Amino acid sequence: MSTPSELETYRAGKDEFFRDDPASPLPVPSRRNFGGLAYYPEAPHLAFEVTPEPYEEVEAVELSTSDGQNREYERWARLRFVVEGVEQSLTVFRQPDTGDLFLPFVDAGAGSETYGAGRYLDLPVLDGVRLLLDFNYAYHPYCAYNAAYSCPIPPAENRLRVHIRAGERLGPDGDTHA
pLDDT, one tens digit for every residue, the chain (178 residues): 678 899 999 999 999 999 999 999 999 988 988 999 999 999 999 999 999 999 999 899 999 999 999 999 999 999 999 999 999 999 999 999 999 999 999 999 999 999 999 999 999 999 888 999 999 999 999 999 999 999 999 999 999 999 999 999 998 766 665 5
Residue 76: phi and psi, rounded to 5, are -105, -55
Report CA torsion sign: 143, 35, 170, 30: negative
Query: Is this prediction's pTM over 0.85?
Result: yes
